[in-house]
Structure 1
Amino acid sequence: MVGVGGGRQTVVTMLPHLVKTLRNESIKPSNRALPSLRRTFSLYDQINLIDTVPEDQLRFQWYGDTGFTVNGVKYEGSLLVVENKLMTWAPKTFSEITPESLSIFKILRPVPEILVLGCGRHIHPISPQLRQFIGSTGMKLEAVDSRNAASTYNILSEEGRPVAAALLPFGVVS
């Protein structure tokens, strides 16, 4: 049986031989193409169906035409998530999203780094007034459909980023 010191000494003497052996071996590239995961799985499908939710974080687990499930609780209608707090949100259509509907960000301190805006089923162009208002708060804007907005919120929140979300239900088309 070799003592600890002897074992270390054996490893040290073997290391140059191991390095030399690895340098002499040629790496053979594989001609097999990796399958595209995009065809098989959607990243958003995996993220939206999170079953285990940390108690101290809000996590979107499901979205639908009329609302969302957050931390196991189903909410109908539009939602606003700020500082890990969930609120109902007045806008029912994309045209109702105005600086006034987001006025909480005039007084909120610290301001989140990013506002994830869920536009409903489709992405809509953001009006110059709304874009200017969001920029004036110091936030960056990420406007996507509500399915992707819920997933984006989950990812950014999990990373510990200061993020807020304003989401219309996925069934909203105008």
Structure 2
Amino acid sequence: MGGRQKAMAAATMLPTYIRNLRQQLPSKAPNQPLPSLRRAFSLYDQINLIDQVPDGQLRFQGYTDTGFTVNRVQYEGSLLIFGNLLTSWSPTKFSEINEESLSLFRVVRPVPEILILGCGRYIQPVVPKLREFICSTGMKLEAIDSRNAASTYNILNEEGRIVAAALLPCGVTS
């Protein structure tokens, strides 16, 4: 029997299956709904995949207006992350991000595929001089708000891509 035929056969048997289940319910409540399947999957409610960090990988697990939680440790202020390196970063507002603040990427090897720039609460336009500097290192640039920057970093890092992130806290607005 082909896959489509099996599906059709199962679909025709479903009303019979439901009727049989209803007959098995206690007779005092004939119109009582079927038992919830949620209890059968309650184990999934107890598993939080976001909190599971693979060995040797940095992972953002939260953020506040003043900092970030990485691998269950709360960090205040701006962060610069590459590979297994996590360091505080000097810019406190978007206008302070320049070639000097990103000078680490002149010497770091292997060169990350992409630099995720967390601009704070809102996306900010990157000045051409800074964009040229980042491109001259061999990286691509993604400038987005810091909340989404942290998520994007996690996804790309989990995929095994060589990625870097420079993030201002989510509360920064200029």
Q: Distance in 2 between matches of 1:153 and 1:132?
A: 22
User: In the alignment, what sits opposite 2:155?
Assistant: 155
Shift of 1:158: 0.3
**Cα deviation per residue 1:26-46 (whole Å; 9 max; x = unaligned)?**
xxxxxxxxxxxxxxxxxxxxx
**One-letter amino acid matched to 2:139:** M
Say if 1:20 and 1:139 are closer, same or farther in 2 by CA, change over 3 A: closer
User: In the alignment, what sits opposite 1:111?
Assistant: 111
Shift of 1:19: 4.1
User: In the alignment, what sits opposite 1:64?
Assistant: 64
Say if 1:129 and 1:73 are closer, same or farther in 2 by CA, change over 3 A: same
Q: Distance in 1 between matches of 2:4 and 2:68?
A: 57
**One-letter amino acid matched to 1:120:** G
RMSD: 1.9
**Unaligned ranges ≥5, structure 2:** 9-48
Across the two proteins, how many residue pairs are aligned to each other?
A: 134
**One-letter amino acid matched to 2:118:** G
| TM-score, structure 1 as length reference | 0.73
| TM-score, structure 2 as length reference | 0.73
- Where do 1:77-96 residues align within 5 Å? 77-96=77-96
**Cα deviation per residue 1:115-146 (whole Å; 9 max; x = unaligned)?**
00000000000000000000001101111000
**Unaligned ranges ≥5, structure 1:** 1-17, 26-48
Shift of 1:55: 2.5
Q: Distance in 2 between matches of 1:169 and 1:159?
A: 24
User: In the alignment, what sits opposite 2:130?
Assistant: 130
**One-letter amino acid matched to 1:139:** M
Shift of 1:50: 1.7
Q: Could you tell me the percent identity over the aligned residues?
A: 69
Q: Which runs of structure 1 show a deviation greater than 2 angstroms over 4 or more consecutive aligned residues?
A: 18-22
Q: Distance in 1 between matches of 2:128 and 2:169?
A: 23
